[in-house]
Chain A
Amino acid sequence: MRFKKLMPWLGGAAMAALMAAGAPTAQADQITLHALMEDVPESQIIEAMLPEFEKETGIKVEFQRLVYSEMHDKLVTQLTGSSSFYNVLEVDFLWAGEFPEAGWLADLQPFVDKTNFDLKPFIPAMMDLVGRHKGTLYMIPMYNYSMGLIYRTDLLGDAKIQAAYKSATGKDLKLPETLADYVELAKFMNANGGVTGSAMQGQRGDPNSMEFSNYLFSSGGAYLDKHGKVALNSPEAVKALELYVDNIQHGAQKGALSATLDDTFRLMCDGKAWSMVTYWWMLPQVDDKTKCPNAAGKVALSVMPGGHGESGGWGWAIPKNETPEIQDAAWKFISWVQGEKISIARALQGHAPVRQDVYENAEVLAKYPYYKQAEAVVSSGEPFPVFAYSAQYEDVLGRQLSLAASGEAKPADAIKSAADGLDDLLKKSQ
């Protein structure tokens, strides 16, 4: 009898207590900007500077850190609603086609004009990637992660290896200049150098699509021609894939087919790999004495052998469905953080610049001499196709690459399927 009376009260009390505990915090009068950020050093560098911005402008900025893949899903869910919780957006280049086409981003040109923001210092390759889409300025570049080659200089300078290489191939041991030479050297290192030749990220999806793009561009191949039509199905592309498959099967580490960035980084960091085709900002990570004692001081960066690597980067954007007040606040933040002063301050802490003037700043170069190569990497980069379905195409392409790498598909067939897949998706987005 007592139970019957008691239960509803217990339930009600429990609910009330939970509601009190779980209620969202009250609204403050000042404007607070919320940004969903990828959890990488770049975000951490900026996060440390946020109090300075608040002091200058009175606007509070809060970062929420998340891993890349989940960022997309969470952002998309928020943006499809009537108003998004995140009112300053960090947008990856792979979404730089999707977000504008879905109508989620505000046109930034009016803001630029209103505040006389100087766009000239921004590197053209970056503006094309994470700035303008189909002629409209939707984003301001934030940082780049273009890809190049990180390699061990000490192994190239090792007398024994040099001698072995000379007797095996008749050539001098030096940094390769073409893709074919690179693969040959990686295979050699794998067999005779006591290390993995090339630490490769073969996992299907973003890892292998990104890595393969370097091979493609360096072989003279391309995804799209100047008119935006699919140009993937070419002899150069097939050659690139053949070299890629050869490297992953004979020049890469065991388990390369399921390896991700983290796996390759750890190999390089442990001193167990000679090289890796990767994001150039990995260099300071590997060259760190406390984290990677086995590799620090012995690594260097170069443009992808063959001359062209994959461009990559993030940009800032503002959601369209926000009040003008919030949008202005968001723009204040964006123009502040990408302005010259803050960009240089960020660069001195390891930020990967998107502005020419930062790369040429004396103080920055003094601290990071390899930024010279970095600038070359960024300016020579070519983009993965940026359109509404870029992310899906990574998966489609990744599937074909993975099938070819495991020997289940012939390179020519895989390239053809990948090209057809790109064509289908392009048509869909028209």
Chain B
Amino acid sequence: MKRLGSLVPHLLLALFSLYILLPPLWVLRTSFVPDSMAYKMALFPDVTLANYIKLFAKDAFALAYQDSLIAAGGATLLGLPIAAMTGYAFARYRTGGQASRFLVLATQMLPPVALVLPVFGLFRVAGLTNSVTGLVIAYGAMNLPFLTWILMGFFEGVPIELEWAAQVDGATVWGAFWRIVIPVSLPGLAAASVLGFILAWNEFLFALILTGPTTATIPVALAGLQSSNGVEIAEISAGVVLAVVPLIIASRLIQRHLVRGLTFGAIK
């Protein structure tokens, strides 16, 4: 009976995994197939590495890769601690009341289209256009509202007794925050950092507008493959595969922290 109990969830999860996995698997397959055969039903009519080679040789993909890594990584490194601090202020101190919480979130509600020209103007004045640094700052700031809200939610779930206990032992508020609240909120931090990284990694419109040929990120590079000549779907598939791999690795690393967070959560 117990065996069945643990089998059913796995079965359902396996089914769900298939639903998620089949399209990417087809993309993986297409990336190794010449573009003219991309639409054939056969699984591997012809295996080739040509798409990957073309990406790096002709389309400067390596540079786009590097730019994406710096932009997304930098934005997450910059944004996560700041979002944690802001989320903590909102959760514990009700800083700015309800109004500021929603105002902060409201900045996310505007379609990016409306902000593109003003942001471009602002960054041009600051000399940050056509640079990856500009993207780091832009993404760091743009992710803050969501990350703040996510972490705020997690902090609200942390019992305040933990912080009191630390303070009774002589820690300052600041110390209690970094030494007690943060470690206990690792699942939330993990989720937030993965989200932040992914949002920055996949962002397209601002990358398009704020970067130039040498500072373009992966989404911009991939978009360039949609020529009027035809959508080079096999090459795009290769690009997508390459774009997804670091994220899976990153999430793997984060997930280890998630598991550790589970044990922390049990301590009371």
Q: Which residues of A does B touch, CB under 8 Å?
A: 1, 3-4, 7, 11, 14-15, 18-19, 21-25, 34, 38-41, 62, 64-68, 70, 73-74, 77, 80-81, 85, 260-262, 265-266, 269-270, 285, 290-292
Contacts and interface: CB of A to CB of B under 8 A. Distances in A.
A39 B209 CA distance: 18
B224 A18 contact: no
A292 B228 CA distance: 17
Interface string B172-213: 001100110000000000000000000000000000110011
Contacts of A85: 129-130, 212
Given A3-B175, A4-B175, A81-B120, A73 B208 contact: yes
Given A22-B70, A22-B215, A67 B36 contact: no
Interface stretch (B11-19, B43-51, B74-82, B100-108): B74-82
B133 A39 contact: no
B10 interface: no
Nearest to A260: B231
A63 to B, nearest CB: 8
A18 B133 contact: yes
A66 B214 CA distance: 13
Contact of A64 (B78, B136, B212): B212
Contacts of A74: 208-209
Contact of A24 (B36, B135, B215, B228): B215
Contacts of B175: 1, 3-4
Contacts of A18: 70, 74, 132-133, 136
A394 to B, nearest CB: 14
Interface residues of B, number: 40
Contacts of B174: 3-4
A21 B223 contact: no
Nearest to B66: A21
30 contacts: A3-B174, A3-B179, A4-B178, A7-B81, A18-B70, A19-B133, A21-B70, A21-B132, A22-B70, A22-B131, A22-B132, A22-B133, A22-B134, A22-B136, A22-B215, A24-B212, A39-B226, A39-B227, A64-B213, A66-B220, A67-B223, A67-B226, A73-B116, A73-B209, A81-B124, A85-B212, A261-B228, A262-B230, A269-B36, A291-B36
Contacts of A25: 214
A77 B77 contact: no
A398 to B, nearest CB: 17
